[in-house]
Amino acid sequence: KLSSTKDLLFNAEKGGYAVGAFNVYNLEGVEAVVAAAEEERSPAILQIHPGAFKQGGIPLVACCVSAAEQACVPITVHFDHGTSKQDLVEALELGFDSLMVDGSHLSFKENVLYTKFVSSLAHSKGMLVEAELGRLSGTEDDLTVEDYEAKLTDIDQAQEFIDATGIDALAVCIGNVHGKYPASGPNLKLDLLKDLHTLSLKKGVFLVLHGASGLSEELIKDCIERGVRKFNVNTEVRKAFMDSLSSSGKDLVHVMASAKEAMKAVVAEKMHLFGSAGKA
Ligand code: G3H
Ligand code: 13P
Ligand code: ZN
Ligand code: NA
């Protein structure tokens, strides 16, 4: 059933687990996530990146909403990485239940203004607002210690950011990266995460971790223990879909069905790791 992201994250906080937010690009991807959620009795978040929205448009959002409505477990539809005010304002009207205001490319001051502006509009529509503080790196093996630390979420700024913007969920930068982790493996600041959770509980906001692809079972557990309630997963599920596409022949019906199954298997595995399996 179509649910609210706030309810999903509230239940996750109460239950000490996390919900997966999976990036979707097309019908088969949407079906893969929903089928995994139903089989695993798990809540799930379907999220659309602005790039995917440019390609799939309103029909892609409608596809997510309709699949959520027909599902027997709670599903929500989320707009990921809103770096443009224009995109976010458009997203307010399309059926998303939550959105991410991504002002992480801005200065702290501008990020506050940008996030506050979109946050008040989204709240007037009853949507949950996620925003990022700090700056997520790509995989940069040669990052200096100073550069690495400059990108981390600062705890005092986080408090000011939450107070000033009224956000509901905070995407943290603790050394997590989009895409692949460096060969040396992830370097997550788990103590910082723990402190951020103490703050987030006090403020009534939920912690989000982007870049969950490439994290080991153990690190995922560590993050959940320290308060992460939403994991964003793109690279691993997309790779499963695309690897299957390129290896399953010429019959498009069969090709799409196989890709869907391949993606579904990865989504289901994540639901177990996140502890959301069996919670719906
Ligand atoms: O684009 C974002 C600016 O930094 C601040 O925007 O104050 O008009 O919401 P705003
Ligand atoms: P990964 O591609 O590392 O899974 O990150 C996904 C993400 O953060 C989407 O917003
Ligand atoms: Zn992300
Ligand atoms: Na990643």
Tell me: the pLDDT tens digits for 212-255? 999 999 999 999 999 999 999 999 999 999 999 998 889 999 99
144 CA from centroid of ligand 4 (Å): 19
How far, CA to CA in Å, does 250 sit from each of 193, 237, 246, 259?
47, 22, 10, 13
Ligand nearest to the CA of 233: 2
Question: What pLDDT, in 10s, does the model give residues 179-204?
Answer: 999 888 999 999 999 999 999 999 99
Atom of ligand 2 nearest to the CA of 179: 3
- In this predicted structure, the answer to whether residue 166 has a pLDDT above a threshold of 80 is yes
Q: What Cα–Cα distance (Å) separates residue 255 from each residue in 14, 126, 217, 260, 261? A: 40, 39, 30, 9, 10
Catalytic-residue membership of 80: yes
Work out the mean pLDDT of the chain and round it to a whole number. 95
The Cα-based distances of 92 to 47, 121, 123, 166 in angstroms read: 14, 8, 10, 17
Residue 229 lies in a domain: yes
- Structural domain total, the chain: 1
Determine, yes or no, domain membership for 280: no
- Rounded mean pLDDT of 21-42? 98
Model confidence at 42, pLDDT cuts 50, 70, 90, reads: very high
- Confidence at residue 136, expressed as pLDDT on a 0 to 100 scale: 83
263 in a domain, yes or no? yes
CA of 232 to the centre of ligand 3 (A): 6
Q: How many helices and strands (H and E) does the chain possess? A: 11, 8
Residue 138 identity: G
Alpha carbon distance 123, 168 (integer Å) = 10
Q: Does some domain include residue 106?
A: yes
> Which range marks the domain in which residue 25 is found?
5-274
What's the pLDDT tens digit per position in 250-265? 999 999 999 999 999 9
Residue 138 has pLDDT above 70, yes or no: no
Interface predicted TM-score (ipTM): 0.79
What is the residue type of 28?
E
In whole angstroms, give the CA distance from residue 252 to residue 246.
11
* Residue 223, in any domain of the structure: yes
Domain presence at residue 187: yes
Pocket of ligand 2 (CB under 6 A): 23, 80-81, 178-179, 210-213, 232-235
CA of residue 172 to ligand 1 center, whole Å? 21
Structural domain includes residue 279: no
From the candidates 7, 80, 154, 163, which is the catalytic residue?
80
Specify the CATH number for the domain of residue 212.
3.20.20.70
Is residue 226 included in any domain, yes or no? yes
